[in-house]
Amino acid sequence: MKGLKPFEPGFDFLAKTFAGMEEVLSTELKQLGAKDVKIIKRGATFKGDEELMYKVNYCSRTAIRILKPIGVFSAKSNDELYQKVKKIDWTKIFNVDQSFIVNANVFYSEVDHSHFAALRVKDGIVDQFREVVGKRPWVAKDIPDVYIDVHIAHDICTISLDSSGESLHRREYKVAVDKAPINEVLAAGMIKISGWDGKEDLIDPMCGSGTIPMEAAMIAMNIPAGYYRSKYAFFTWSSFDEKLWEKVKAEANAEVTETDCNIIASDRSEVAVAITKRNLKNAGLHKDVIVEHKFFDQIIPETKKGILIFNPPYGKRMEERGELRDLFKGIGDVLKQNFTGFQAWIITPNIEAAKFVGLRPSVKHTLYNGPIETKYLKFEMYEGTKKDKGDSDDRKRGNFGDKRREGNFGDKRREGSYGGRKREGGFGDRKRDGGYGSKREEGSGGSNREGDFKKKRFSSTDKPRFGDKPEYGSRRFSNRKDDSKPADRKPRRPRKPREEKDD
């Protein structure tokens, strides 16, 4: 049987991403040195060599995977697919002792079942090995050596080697996750779409496991997206050039720098805050991101300008209970009252609920989180959009004029828990680091999250505000109480993740 005709797809590689992120991906690819970058649906094609493939895998923040096409042909039936797959010389691509996996997607084609298409491709590969080598390679669903991607659209089949293997969102900096963490690639794309340049303060007031602040820190410090990752599929290719790979990494790592801006992560959940701190510590970024246990309306920014990027909770049940509406209304109130001069970027799948923010978004960007359509909305809080500026300014100065609040907050808690943490030099120091992992904190959060908060925060006279926590908004204060200088930060390097210890 004759082999396939020489393959000329017009591009060397295809980077996949989330729908809505094609532009930022293409910009990033060009910055990394890719040539002839062309946007396609959920991705971009480009030209380049082996070195570029290593570099894009290591450095791209917005690509999910990098494919290298090895065969393209028309296939109008499963049998034709099988026969043509056998024309590719698989024995030159990997050896019989390596395991492999086939992933297929079919669109508008006679071959109309992805799973069956993947099976036929697998059969073609296995049968060719049996005929040529006398034994077959095995399929491994978990951690295979070789990842094969099959894309069939309008009866044209493209077979590619997936050079990334595990999705590139697996940065490997997280040691724990809280509920509904956002995908790392999506988080990086959101930061890039916002245009944040790493110079202004960035706040994620609902940080969950800390994905957005961690991606922001890596962007601000030029830490390659793959810095913490241990494996790429191309490591197992027979063509893998380890020296070249080490060179690519060394060059990218040499660009790592320091950042002067504040990246601030906070969450109402003690558990989420503890998890964010663990993840940051694991990545060696705990001195680069300020982490606080705070409800959104407790945050009073220390600067006049900055950016908020966050994904508020979303759930069908919250929607049914009408809680989303209160949540977004509350978010809008806080933005208007506390964040004049800032811009806020919020991602949500529920555009109807987002209308309750009560501000007109200046940008509405459609982004897909896998199959889920979301809107990424930009709100700009200009001076003068507040209903009652005088009242708001008073509050910023700490003159809440609200008996209940004054009565409820002892200065003790303010100083001990939140007050000017960074300014006092405490941020990132050992004592604080030790604190997050302490039994008390983990225990209280983990045992009964709601219960613990209620015990501590909710008084029967407080009215529910917004979000699904009745205690929301029952305490509010400024942390602008200390004008001492920020703690000096010594230039450091992020370090590789290490084994988790119970410290």
Ligand X SMILES: C[S@@+](CC[C@H](N)C(=O)[O-])C[C@H]1O[C@@H](n2cnc3c(N)ncnc32)[C@H](O)[C@@H]1O
- Is 268 among the residues that bind ligand X (CB under 6 A)? yes
> Which among 282, 214, 206, 216 has a CA at the least distance from the CA of 437?
282
Shortest spacing between CB 166 and ligand X, in angstroms? 19
C-beta of residue 19 within 8 angstroms of C-beta of residue 42: yes
Q: Which is nearer to ligand X, 34 or 265 (CB)?
A: 265
Distance CA 330, CA 467 (A): 7
Q: Which of 205, 284, 420, 494 binds ligand X (CB under 6 A)?
A: 205
Nearer to ligand X, 146 or 331 (CB): 331
Of residues 22 and 471, the one with the C-beta less far from ligand X: 471
Among 22, 28, 178, 288, binds ligand X (CB under 6 A): 178
User: 102, 272, 274, 309: which one contacts ligand X (CB under 6 A)?
Assistant: 272
213 contributes a contact to ligand X by CB under 6 A: no
Site residues for ligand X, 62-101, by CB under 6 A, read: none
Binding mask 217-246 for ligand X (x = CB under 6 A): ------------------------------
Tell me the C-alpha distance between 15 and 45, whole Å: 6
Q: Which of 269, 279, 343, 479 binds ligand X (CB under 6 A)?
A: 269
Stretch that binds ligand X, among 100-108, 205-213, 349-357, 474-482 (CB under 6 A): 205-213
The CB-of-5 to ligand X minimum distance in angstroms stands at 47
Distance in Å, CB of 116 to ligand X, minimum: 36
CB of 127 to ligand X, least distance (A): 44
- Secondary structure (3-state) at 358: coil
| Of 96 and 175, CB closest to ligand X | 175
CB 202 within 8 A of CB 306: yes
CB of 169 to ligand X, least distance (A): 11
Cβ neighbors of 257 (< 8 A, separation 6 or more) are 221, 222
Q: Are 290 and 213 in contact (CB under 8 A)?
A: no
Question: Alpha-carbon distance 222 to 424, whole Å?
Answer: 27
Residue whose C-beta lies closest to ligand X: 208
Inter-residue contact 191 to 213 (CB < 8 Å): no
Under 8 Å between Cβ of 474 and 402: no
The tokens describing 214, both together, are: 């961690």
| C-beta pairs of 123-132 under 8 Å, 24+ apart in sequence | 123/82, 124/81, 124/82, 124/83, 124/84, 124/85, 124/86, 125/85, 125/90, 125/100, 127/86, 128/85, 128/86, 128/90, 128/91, 129/90, 129/91, 129/96, 132/91
Q: Which of 82, 147, 296, 356 binds ligand X (CB under 6 A)?
A: 296
Residue among 32, 85, 157, 182 that touches ligand X (CB under 6 A): 182
Q: Restricting to residues 410-469, which ones interact with ligand X according to CB under 6 A?
A: 467
The type of residue at 281 is K
Instruction: Provide, rounded to whole angstroms, the least separation between the CB of residue 216 and ligand X.
Output: 11
Residue 99 C-beta: closest distance to ligand X, Å:
32
The 10 Å Cβ neighbour count of residue 465 is: 21
Distances (CA, A) of 269 to 179, 196, 312, 318, 432: 11, 26, 13, 17, 17
Beta carbon of residue 226, minimum distance to ligand X (angstroms, whole number):
19
Number of residues that bind ligand X (CB under 6 A): 22
Q: CB-hemisphere CA count at 13 Å for 68?
A: 20
Q: Which stretch binds ligand X (CB under 6 A): 23-31, 264-272, 413-421, 427-435?
A: 264-272
Q: The dihedral of CA 338, 343, 347, 350: what is its sign? A: positive
Residue 474 as a binder of ligand X (CB under 6 A): the answer is no
Residues 345-374 vs ligand X: string with x where CB under 6 A? Answer: ------------------------------
Q: Between 144 and 312, whose beta carbon lies closer to ligand X?
A: 312
Query: What is the footprint of ligand X within residues 300-339 (CB under 6 A)?
Result: 311-313
Alpha helix ranges (H) inside 265-322: 270-283, 316-320
Residue with tokens 């296939």: 75
Judged by CB under 6 A, the residue of 60, 209, 444, 474 near ligand X is: 209
In degrees and rounded to multiples of 5, residue 57 shows phi and psi of -60, -40
Give the residue, chosen from 11, 58, 245, 295, that forms a contact with ligand X under the rule CB under 6 A.
Answer: 295
Element containing residue 264 per DSSP (H, E): strand 263-267
Q: Structure tokens of 104?
A: 């297929």
User: Taking CB under 6 A as the rule, does residue 109 contact ligand X?
Assistant: no
Full 3-state SS string of 156-219: EEEEEEECCCCCCCCCCCCCCCCCCCCCHHHHHHHHHHHCCCCCCCEEECCCCCCHHHHHHHHH
- Token pair of 314 as six digits: 């979303």
Q: Which of 105, 140, 180, 303 binds ligand X (CB under 6 A)?
A: 180
Question: Minimum CB separation from ligand X for residue 430, in Å?
Answer: 25
| Contact status, residue 80 vs residue 31, Cβ threshold 8 Å | no
Among residues 124 and 312, whose Cβ is nearest to ligand X? Answer: 312
Binding track, positions 386-415, relative to ligand X; x by CB under 6 A: ------------------------------
- Binding status of residue 60 toward ligand X by CB under 6 A: no
Interface contacts to ligand X, rule CB under 6 A: 178, 180-182, 205-209, 211-212, 267-269, 272, 295-296, 311-313, 467, 472
